Amino acid sequence: MFRYIAQRLVASIPVLIGILFVTFTLARVLPGDPCRAALGERATDELCNAYIKRFGLDRPIITQFGIYMNDMVHGDFGRSFRYGRPVMDLLIERLPVTLELTLAALTLSSVLGVLAGILSAIRRNSPIDVGTMLLANVGVSMPVFWLGLMLAYVFALLLKDTPFWLAPSGRNSPGMTIPSLVEAWHVTSTQGVGYSILQFLSNLHLFNALVTGNWAFFWDTVKHLILPAAALSTIPMSIIARMTRSSLLEVLGQDYIRTARAKGLREAVVVSRHAMRNALLPVVTVVGLSLGSLLGGAVLTETIFNFAGMGRLLFDAIQARDYTIVQSVTLVVAVVFVLVNLIVDLSYAFLDPRIRLS
C-alpha cells in the first residue's frame, strides 16, 4: 500500500510540473501588459520598463520558469504584482474560504445526491423516480450565476423578517469577528511553518469557532454558508444522483442480489449491505472529480455571494495579468486533483475487496 502511494506521488510530479509550465507560458504569451493593468492611466513607458525589469519579465520564458521553480522549491511562490504581497500569504488568507465553501457544497451534493439516486433506483419507473430524475435534469441545467441570484432573492428578500431568512452575501454578519488561533492560544512566534498553519486554520471559520467554542460565530458562519453552498452543489448533486441511480440499478440486477432476496433478507438490508457497496465505485469517482471541479469553479459563486475566496482572487489576477497568483492557484487546484484521485483509488480497495493495489 505504501509503495503504491509513493509511486503515485512520484509519478504525479512530472504532471504538476507540466501543468505549471503550460500555465506559466500561456499567461505570458496572451495579449496584455501587467504593468498597464496594474497602473491603469498612470502607466508610462518609463514606469512600465522599470516595472518589467523589476519583476524579471524581460527575460526569456525558460529563464523565468527556472527562477520560479527554484524559488518555489524553497517555499517562495513569489510576490503578487497587484497586491505587492507574498502569494503564500494571499493563499493562506483566501484558500480557507474556498475550501470551506467547497467542502460544504460537496457534503450537501454527496448526501442528497446519493439518497436521491437510491430512492430512484429502488422505486424504478415510479412517479418518485420520474420526479427525482426530472429535478436532477433541471438542476444540472441551471447556471450557477442565475441560481445564486434566485436563491438570494427568495431567501433574503421574499422571506425577509421570517424564520427562513438567510444572509444573501458575505461570509459573516457585520461586526461579527473571531480572534485567530494564534491569539486564542497565545502563540508568541510569528514566523515559521507552524505559524502559517495556525493562520490557515484560523481562516477556516467553522473550524476556528469549533475549537474555540464560539458558537454564535459558528452558527453565523453556517447561515451565511447555506445559500452559496446550495448554489454551488446543484450541478454535482444532479450528476451524483443520476450516477447513483444507474449504478445501483445495474448492481440490483446481478445474480447475488437475487440470491440475497431469495434467502429472505429485507430489501433495506439487500440494498445497504449488498448492493450499495459495489454500486459506490463509480459514484466515488464522480464525487472525487467533483471536489476538484468545485474548488476550481467557485469563481461565480464567490462573486455573487461576495466571498473573498480563491475564485475571486484568481478572477482578479487574470484581469490584472498577475502571473504569480494565476500560477499558484493553478498549482493548488492541480495538487488537489492529484491527491483526490489518489484517495479515490485507495477507496476502491476498501469498497471492493476484489481490488488489490500493488
Q: 3-state DSSP: the chain helix, strand, coil percent, rounded to 5?
A: 75, 0, 25
| The pLDDT value given to residue 240 | 92
pLDDT in tens, 92-139: 888 899 989 999 999 999 999 999 999 998 888 888 888 988 888 888
Question: How far apart are alpha carbons 108 and 319 in whole angstroms?
Answer: 32
| The pLDDT value given to residue 327 | 83
pLDDT band at 40 (very low <50, low <70, confident <90, very high): low
Three-point CA angle 240, 296, 100, nearest 5°: 80
> For residue 296, how many other CB atoms are within 10 A of its CB?
20
The answer, yes or no, to whether residue 339 has pLDDT greater than 60, is yes
Question: How far apart are alpha carbons 112 and 29 in whole angstroms?
Answer: 44
Residue 244 CB-density burial (10 A; 0-12 exposed, 13-18 middle, 19+ buried): buried
| Strand stretches in 154-267, DSSP E | none
The b-or-e profile of 169-202 (16+ CB within 10 A means b, else e) is eebbeeeeebeebbebeeeeeeeeeeeeebbbbb
| The pLDDT value given to residue 322 | 80
pLDDT in tens, 195-249: 888 888 888 999 999 998 889 999 999 999 999 999 888 888 999 999 999 999 8
Question: Across all residues in the chain, what is the average pLDDT?
Answer: 83
* Cβ atoms of 294 and 106 closer than 8 Å: yes
Please list, in sequence order, all residues whose beta carbon lies within 8 angstroms of the beta carbon of residue 323, skipping any fewer than 6 positions away.
24, 27, 28, 34, 81
- pTM comes to 0.84
pLDDT in tens, 298-309: 778 888 888 888
CATH superfamily for 87-178+214-330 is MetI-like (1.10.3720.10)
The answer, yes or no, to whether residue 65 has pLDDT greater than 80, is yes
Question: Taking residues 154-181, what's their average pLDDT?
Answer: 85
Question: How far apart are alpha carbons 279 and 181 in whole angstroms?
Answer: 42
Q: What is the DSSP string of 124-141?
A: TTSHHHHHHHHHHHHHHH
The alpha carbons of the chain give a radius of gyration, in whole angstroms, of 24
Question: Taking residues 74-88, what's their average pLDDT?
Answer: 81
* Cβ atoms of 98 and 310 closer than 8 Å: yes
Percent of the chain scored above 70 by pLDDT? Answer: 95
pLDDT band at 38 (very low <50, low <70, confident <90, very high): low
| The pLDDT value given to residue 357 | 61
| The pLDDT value given to residue 296 | 67
DSSP state of 275: I
Range from 189-198, 305-314, 317-326, 347-356 carrying the lowest mean pLDDT: 347-356
Residue 79, beta-bridge partner list? 86
Collapsing DSSP states into helix, strand and coil, what is residue 231?
Answer: helix
Question: How far apart are alpha carbons 34 and 321 in whole angstroms?
Answer: 5
* Cβ atoms of 344 and 288 closer than 8 Å: yes
DSSP state of 86: B
The answer, yes or no, to whether residue 358 has pLDDT greater than 60, is no
